Amino acid sequence: KNGKSTFKKIIQRDSKHVSKEISSTSTDECPPRLTDSSLRYVDGKKYYRDTPCVFPVDERETIRNKEKQIITKLLWQGNFSAPIGDHLKAGGLKILDVGCGPGTWILEMAKTYPSCLFTGVDISPTYPLRDLPENVEFIQANILDRLPIESGKFDFVVMHFLNGCFTLRQWESIIIQEVSRVMKPGAWLEWLLCDASLKNQGENTKKLLQAFLSLVHSRGINPWTVVEIPGILKNSGKFVNIKSEKRVVTYSFRESGQLATKGFMDMFQYMKKPISEFMSITSHEYDQLLNKTHEELEQGQTMNDY
């Protein structure tokens, strides 16, 4: 069977622009670490205060992020696709994970490549704070401000599943600029995204997903960032060797599909209040819609691009 597709953008930093970037920053100018004041509370749930991100900051979202990492590894048969395997084995590389979440990818990679240094950055400290490997550090920071990192530091940068967190304008004017700033000449960027569209979706699944996408769009976020990324990278003039690949997940089929179904249902369960209010339906009506959606996903026909 075919199934949910994941898109990977594997891009090399253009060395022509780097000397200018390196000289433009000093770590003394970087903002202080964020505190819990960066969060807002709605119905007892924590959300990021200064970003349009619709996802809460809680244990369920942390678990879902860990499960997405498992899905990704199953689909891609590994933790990365950039052509840096031999360099990682040789050691000495510095790797950055932007929006690292619970740090699952960082910790696994750090164990596999103990001679490399790994840094994870996230706006909220859902990553471990104690008993870290010697080659791992986590930094709490908002990339929309400025990363507390010197320019030209990293050999490899990854970003996983951040297409629901920023507006298209933020991607173009802030995030790409900031990511390129901290990369060395010739460094690699790997950008993993999940397509917002589903194939072979049932009527209820389509209705629920469309409501979610409309809600996200109302926050200024383009759910179809995956389509825009090649153009954004090319137009920035900072990257070369841009390559796109994708994998497909079929919901409820094999381990990856079962985890994808669980993640889909978990997300729509804890997004119940904002989505049901956006749809102007009752809590009971939302539960019925979600149950019917689950039945459709369990049929093993719905597919998504990763």
Residue 55, both tokens: 């996802």
Average confidence (pLDDT) over 255-263? 92
Label residue 132 by pLDDT band (50, 70, 90).
very high
CA distance 154 to 174: 18
Q: Is the pLDDT of residue 248 over 60?
A: yes
Q: Is the pLDDT of residue 38 over 70?
A: no
Q: Is the pLDDT of residue 30 over 50?
A: no
Q: Is the pLDDT of residue 2 over 50?
A: no
Residue 4: predicted pLDDT: 31
Label residue 65 by pLDDT band (50, 70, 90).
confident
Q: Is the pLDDT of residue 217 over 50?
A: yes
Q: Is the pLDDT of residue 278 over 90?
A: yes
Q: Is the pLDDT of residue 270 over 80?
A: yes
Residue 249, both tokens: 């997940």
Q: Is the pLDDT of residue 144 over 50?
A: yes
Mean pLDDT of the chain: 84
What tens digit of pLDDT does each residue of 152-162 get?
A: 999 999 999 88
Label residue 167 by pLDDT band (50, 70, 90).
confident
Q: Is the pLDDT of residue 148 over 70?
A: yes
Residue 32: predicted pLDDT: 34
Q: Which CATH number fits domain 4-198+222-248: 3.30.70.60, 3.40.50.720, 2.30.30.90, 3.40.50.150?
A: 3.40.50.150
Q: Is the pLDDT of residue 11 over 80?
A: no
Least confident window among 142-146, 153-157, 202-206: 142-146
Q: How many CA atoms lie within 13 A of 127 on its CB side?
A: 27
Residue 16: predicted pLDDT: 42
CA distance 80 to 116: 15
Contact call for residues 240 and 246 (beta carbons, < 8 A):
no
Q: What is the 3-state secondary structure of 109-149? A: HHHHCCCCEEEEEECCCCCCCCCCCCCEEEEECCCCCCCCC
Residue 289, both tokens: 């819609």
Q: Is the pLDDT of residue 44 over 90?
A: no
Domain boundaries, the chain: 4-198+222-248
Residue 14, φ and ψ in degrees, nearest 5: -80, 120
Residue 302: predicted pLDDT: 94
Q: How many CA atoms lie within 13 A of 304 on its CB side?
A: 31
